[in-house]
């Protein structure tokens, strides 16, 4: 095999690894294996009022042509404590604990980052239209999403109010 063909195979392998390895469902599966506690994607475990708003949000996203992947709905105390310790959450009393929140992602590899930015902008708009609050509205200085006009947790949607 020529050197050129060998390098081409290495390049194709690296691109393939980047696409598969950065795919949200793959990353979530790895996280579930290595993280304490648990969280569920079972919609039956969600608060009924929140689930109704989530269904409206997903219908709005589908009408725009966006596929939506439910990364997490209800979670337990151990997983929430882990997120808090790592700085991925700001509270011990997340609405995820009561099934009143969900994290929604675009099921395409993260290497297609501009698509994710557009998806999160649409998600925020559809969350508002469905009467839900969006993490894309939450600001935190210096967070990576700020340059794109998004709050610090753009994948998160939750039931608003008490």
pLDDT at 20 over 50: no
Give the CATH number, domain containing residue 64: 3.30.1380.10
Which structural domain, as residue segments, surrounds residue 27? 3-159
In this prediction, what percent of the chain has a pLDDT beyond 70? 81
Residue range 84-140, pLDDT digits in tens = 998 888 888 999 999 999 999 999 988 889 999 999 999 999 999 999 999 999 887
Q: Which strands make up the sheet holding 132-134, listed edge to edge? A: 69-72, 101-105, 156-159, 132-134
pLDDT at 10 over 80: no
- Contact, 141 vs 89, CB < 8 A? no
pLDDT at 162 over 50: yes
pLDDT of 66: 98
Quote the mean pLDDT of the chain. Answer: 85
Q: Count of domains in the chain?
A: 1
């Amino acid at each position: 095999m020529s050197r050129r063909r060998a390098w081409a195979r290495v390049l194709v392998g690296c691109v393939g690894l980047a696409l598969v390895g950065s795919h949200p469902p793959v990353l979530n599966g790895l996280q579930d294996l290595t993280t304490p506690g648990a969280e569920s994607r079972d919609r039956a475990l969600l608060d009924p009022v929140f689930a109704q708003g989530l269904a409206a949000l997903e219908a709005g996203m589908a009408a725009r042509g966006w596929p939506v992947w439910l990364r997490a709905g209800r979670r337990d105390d151990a997983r929430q404590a882990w997120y808090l310790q790592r700085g991925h959450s700001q509270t011990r009393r997340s609405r995820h604990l009561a099934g009143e929140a969900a994290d929604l992602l675009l099921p395409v590899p993260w290497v297609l980052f501009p698509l994710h930015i557009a998806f999160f902008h649409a998600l925020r708009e559809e969350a508002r239209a469905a009467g839900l609050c969006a993490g894309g509205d939450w600001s935190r200085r210096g967070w990576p999403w700020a340059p794109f006009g998004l709050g610090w947790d753009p994948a998160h949607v939750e039931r608003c109010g008490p």
